[in-house]
Structure 1
Amino acid sequence: MAAGYGLLVAGAGSHGGATALAGVPPAALLGRSSGRVVQFDAPLCPSTVGAALRRAATCPGLLLVGVAGLLRLDGPGGEPYVALGGAAGAAGDRGLPWAWLAAASASRPCGSTTVVVDLAAAEDGVEAALERDGGRLDVPGAAVLGVVCGPRRTASVGGYSVALAAILRRDGGPVATGAHDAAVARAGLADRRGVRVVRSPPVAARAGRSAPRPGAGARVPPLPSSGNPGGAVVGALAGPSSAARPAVRRTPAQASSATPPHAEAHRALYTELAAGRYSAAVAMASAKERAALRTGGAHSAEALHWLEVRADLARLAGRWADAARGWLTSAERRLQAGAGPADPAVRDAVDRAHHCWHRCGEDGQDGERGENGENDENDAYVELGQALAEARRRVPGPRGAAADIRRRLADAVNR
């Protein structure tokens, strides 16, 4: 019997949920004679959790992923993520996107992964989104078991995990529907108002087919690093949060013409990026953007969406300069369309550009070296920083943001 592996993530507001499960002996938790359990307690860096998830997905035996904490959405109607220890930035910078779990499961045999959730919706919007789409927390190929409390019941987080831990110590694992049902009953959550019980068997099994498997040599893609400009990250490619917030008011006829991008297109982009084919993924997004430009113009919601998807692809691949330029272009187009500097989508775009520009300076790689090598790269960094400074003049950010740009520009000019 192959050894099992447990990855437990205690996010913000977890109230000891993951810690309770971490106290269960690995053999009882995983139902295997041998196995390993790794716990992250309020991690600040999502990349660290993502790398651990990537490693965990390669285990040959049962994989148990436990996640406790606050559940949020990346923008109105956006993708769910679990808040981690950080407090600022986009979802991929401060939390664990749910799509990372789905991508990890997709690289494994159907039914070999179990995701245990002990979560609380951080806002009413999260609970409403779960009501509209009951499958929002599905993980293809994996069983998802646990509870999601309403936003006014965040103190209930952890109770399910404590009950589950007690049952596993008594009866042993692996975690399955029987232990889940017993934990829900023991914690008194079965009929409690404002608590959603999640009991989702592997999605592919419910559909009566095998889970899609990647081709030979496929794997959960690595997080971007300065030494891997073409590397992909397991990420939510359903589009950045601001894409759901058009900058201009549209008539009903215009609104109906700007339909959201199809899920199939996003899955195709992810497949290319996951395989390390960044250029192919960008080409696909660019084609969608050109079509949107022809039909709706540069300020249409569809065109802005695909522009921002391209920027996010660049970010995921570690192409920080390209990502920063994309987000600056998005902010400029939204301002041209009549959005004000305080518009959340405009501020979000400039904030993301600022973050990516930071990474340009820190990583020192963007594939922009010419005959003069580092001089060309530094010149490009300065030019991009000047454009960002102009954007910050029009769209103020957090306290000290403009001063940060001035300081970094001065350091770059004096190199």
Structure 2
Amino acid sequence: MDAASVLPVLAAVPPGVLTGTTTATVVELADPLDPQTVLTRLRAAAGSPGPLVLCLAGQLHLDRRQHLPHLALARTTPATLRYTALPWHWLAGELGVRAPGTTTVVADLAADPDVWERLGTAPDLLNLGPGPLLYGRVTPAPRRGEPMAPDYLRSWAELWRSGARLPHATLHAESAAHAASATPESLFLAPAPTPVPVVTQDPHPAILAAAMAGRHGEAAAMAAAWESEALRRHGPRSAESVHWTEVRADLARLSGEPARSCELWLTAAEARLGLGQRTDDPDVEGAVDRAHHQWGEIADPARARALGPLLVTLRQRVPGRRPGALAALTRRMAEHPAP
């Protein structure tokens, strides 16, 4: 795991955005050498009464004697694991004494074969106890010499840096979707979702009312809760989960985020095609048309250029019912070439 590559993005996030407070203190440990030093810094941070956000990126290994997971540090080797790596249960011990709801851990981890196998039979292997809220991605470690980018944690950092004050559940859902496209074989960790009551009442009017009143964070949180429930009940490759992706896309439009809206509509269109819907299905055409419209609203040329090729690829498959849509898109992209 190329953990250091995410540090510049995290460093660009105002500290108060991380904790949701007016001010905050950031402690950065890049390639730490000694587990005792990490423990000392962690203990000092955990002793603070305010909210604590801990971001981790690295590789997990299993201690062969006690079969406990350890986070590798800069000098860790398989032979010295028990003395040079950070035991995962040390994290649980330091963070578990904090008040519930005050601690969030965001982890982007590569697992060696032993840890990956254990996670398949013991999903609570990385449990930090009832207090801390753990959001994370675990993926099999790449072969030696093939560094892995911490895409999941980078996505959190970029969303934080954008200034969006989104609920952690929403940050996790969006970052997981981004990371899964790059590394399909991933395990995502998140706290159990807040139960969504099943009643004769439709949640959409309340979500829309919040968005129209400018309470975009509240609207996003409600949509994320219903999306989590759809994922739990029906799985990620279901019409129900795609529907909530489309709801989030429309909420992004209402909050003035056309790039994010375009990206989500593209995701929804690809998902519907993956479910076997035809290219002339009204829902597929509608998703591509909305992605196209939102793409035209993007003010940042670099962001528009990044999403343009994805939109062109979809337009080639789903030309839609408006003549010349693909030609107009191609012509506009040619007018704004990359610098």
TM-score, normalisation: structure 2: 0.51
Name the amino acid aligned to 1:177.
A
Q: Who is 1:199 aligned against?
A: 190
Name the amino acid aligned to 2:59.
L
Q: In the alignment, is the contact (CA less than 8 A) between 1:149 and 1:156 conserved in 2?
A: no
Q: Who is 1:308 aligned against?
A: none
In structure 2, which of residues 132, 135, 152 is the aligned counterpart of residue 145 of structure 1?
Answer: 135
Seen in structure 2, the aligned counterparts of structure 1 residues 26 and 118 have a Cα distance that, compared at 3 Å, is same
Structure 1 residues 206-246: Cα deviation after superposition (integer angstroms, max 9, x where no partner): 9xxxxxxxxxxxxxxxxxxxxxxxxxxxxxxxxxxxxxxxx
Mapped pair 1:180 → 2:169: no
CA–CA separation in structure 2 for the residues paired with 1:172 and 1:97:
34
Mapped pair 1:168 → 2:160: yes
Q: In the alignment, is the contact (CA less than 8 A) between 2:12 and 2:161 conserved in 1?
A: no
Following TM superposition, by how much is the alpha carbon of 1:21 offset from its aligned partner in structure 2, in angstroms? 2.1
CA–CA separation in structure 2 for the residues paired with 1:42 and 1:54:
18
Seen in structure 2, the aligned counterparts of structure 1 residues 155 and 196 have a Cα distance that, compared at 3 Å, is farther
Q: Which segment is superposed worse, 91-100 or 64-73?
A: 91-100
Q: Quick check: which one's helix share is greater?
A: 2
Seen in structure 2, the aligned counterparts of structure 1 residues 190 and 197 have a Cα distance that, compared at 3 Å, is farther
Mapped pair 1:109 → 2:111: no
Name the amino acid aligned to 1:137.
L
Q: Unaligned stretches of 5+ in structure 2?
A: 196-339
Q: Who is 2:262 aligned against?
A: none
Q: Who is 1:50 aligned against?
A: 39
In structure 1, which of residues 13, 24, 45 is the aligned counterpart of residue 13 of structure 2?
Answer: 24
Query: The residue matched to 2:124 in structure 1 has which SS?
Result: coil
Following TM superposition, by how much is the alpha carbon of 1:15 offset from its aligned partner in structure 2, in angstroms? 4.7
Q: % of aligned pairs identical?
A: 30
In structure 2, which of residues 23, 26, 38 is the aligned counterpart of residue 37 of structure 1?
Answer: 26
Query: The residue matched to 1:64 in structure 2 has which SS?
Result: strand
CA–CA separation in structure 2 for the residues paired with 1:130 and 1:157:
21
CA–CA separation in structure 2 for the residues paired with 1:201 and 1:37:
28
Q: In the alignment, is the contact (CA less than 8 A) between 1:113 and 1:143 conserved in 2?
A: yes
Query: The residue matched to 2:86 in structure 1 has which SS?
Result: strand
In structure 1, which of residues 123, 132, 135 is the aligned counterpart of residue 121 of structure 2?
Answer: 132
Structure 1 residues 356-398: Cα deviation after superposition (integer angstroms, max 9, x where no partner): xxxxxxxxxxxxxxxxxxxxxxxxxxxxxxxxxxxxxxxxxxx
Q: Who is 1:159 aligned against?
A: 151
Q: Unaligned stretches of 5+ in structure 1?
A: 1-11, 207-415
CA–CA separation in structure 2 for the residues paired with 1:82 and 1:13:
14
Q: In the alignment, is the contact (CA less than 8 A) between 1:68 and 1:157 conserved in 2?
A: no
Query: The residue matched to 2:134 in structure 1 has which SS?
Result: strand
- Structure 1 segment 14-413 matched on structure 2, within 5 A: 14-75=3-64, 78-88=67-77, 90-121=80-111, 123-140=112-129, 141-152=131-142, 155-173=147-165, 176-185=168-177, 187-189=178-180, 192-201=183-192
Following TM superposition, by how much is the alpha carbon of 1:77 offset from its aligned partner in structure 2, in angstroms? 6.5
Seen in structure 2, the aligned counterparts of structure 1 residues 92 and 132 have a Cα distance that, compared at 3 Å, is same
CA–CA separation in structure 2 for the residues paired with 1:79 and 1:175:
32
Following TM superposition, by how much is the alpha carbon of 1:46 offset from its aligned partner in structure 2, in angstroms? 1.1
Q: Who is 1:289 aligned against?
A: none
Seen in structure 2, the aligned counterparts of structure 1 residues 20 and 79 have a Cα distance that, compared at 3 Å, is farther
Name the amino acid aligned to 1:64.
V
Seen in structure 2, the aligned counterparts of structure 1 residues 192 and 44 have a Cα distance that, compared at 3 Å, is closer
CA–CA separation in structure 2 for the residues paired with 1:150 and 1:71:
10
Q: In the alignment, is the contact (CA less than 8 A) between 1:45 and 1:94 conserved in 2?
A: yes
Paired residues in the alignment total 191
Following TM superposition, by how much is the alpha carbon of 1:131 offset from its aligned partner in structure 2, in angstroms? 0.8
Seen in structure 2, the aligned counterparts of structure 1 residues 90 and 56 have a Cα distance that, compared at 3 Å, is same
Following TM superposition, by how much is the alpha carbon of 1:20 offset from its aligned partner in structure 2, in angstroms? 2.8
Following TM superposition, by how much is the alpha carbon of 1:157 offset from its aligned partner in structure 2, in angstroms? 3.6
Name the amino acid aligned to 1:166.
E
Name the amino acid aligned to 2:141.
P
Q: In the alignment, is the contact (CA less than 8 A) between 2:2 and 2:150 conserved in 1?
A: no
Following TM superposition, by how much is the alpha carbon of 1:111 offset from its aligned partner in structure 2, in angstroms? 1.7
Following TM superposition, by how much is the alpha carbon of 1:151 offset from its aligned partner in structure 2, in angstroms? 2.1
Q: In the alignment, is the contact (CA less than 8 A) between 2:68 and 2:88 conserved in 1?
A: yes
CA–CA separation in structure 2 for the residues paired with 1:193 and 1:77:
30
Q: In the alignment, is the contact (CA less than 8 A) between 2:76 and 2:85 conserved in 1?
A: no
Seen in structure 2, the aligned counterparts of structure 1 residues 91 and 111 have a Cα distance that, compared at 3 Å, is farther
Following TM superposition, by how much is the alpha carbon of 1:28 offset from its aligned partner in structure 2, in angstroms? 1.5
TM-score, normalisation: structure 1: 0.42
CA–CA separation in structure 2 for the residues paired with 1:201 and 1:31:
22
Seen in structure 2, the aligned counterparts of structure 1 residues 27 and 136 have a Cα distance that, compared at 3 Å, is same
Seen in structure 2, the aligned counterparts of structure 1 residues 196 and 93 have a Cα distance that, compared at 3 Å, is same
Seen in structure 2, the aligned counterparts of structure 1 residues 157 and 62 have a Cα distance that, compared at 3 Å, is same
